[in-house]
Amino acid sequence: MKNEEEIEKLAEQLEKDLLLMYGSPLITGEDLQKAMGFRSVDALRQAIVRKTIPVKVFNLDNRRGKYALVKDIARWLANESIKQN
């Protein structure tokens, strides 16, 4: 239970930080690559193609590229951080 509370609190803070940094609840391209910690956009593309990216990515009608929600990225980062401790 304590871990879940820690994860939730950290995820909320990370979401706020990511929203400030990227200015949108959606991110794509190089911003997505940086937020997820991939070395390059090509590495991000490979993870998407191989379906190994740990957050949901999706298309938007009439837009290029793949998108992810800042909320999902924040939750994943928080889980990874707490899991490592």
DSSP 22-54: HSSSEEEHHHHHHHHT-SSHHHHHHHHHTT--S
Taking only the tens of pLDDT, the chain with its 85 residues reads: 568 899 999 999 999 999 999 999 999 999 999 999 999 999 999 999 999 999 999 999 999 999 999 999 999 999 999 886 6
At 73 the pLDDT is 98
Q: Looking at beta carbons, which pairs linking 35-43 to residues 24 or more positions away fall under 8 Å?
A: 35/70, 35/73, 36/68, 36/73
Query: What pTM was estimated for this model as a whole?
Result: 0.90
CA 10 to each of CA 47, 56, 84: distance values in angstroms, whole numbers, following the listed order = 25, 19, 14
At 3 the pLDDT is 85
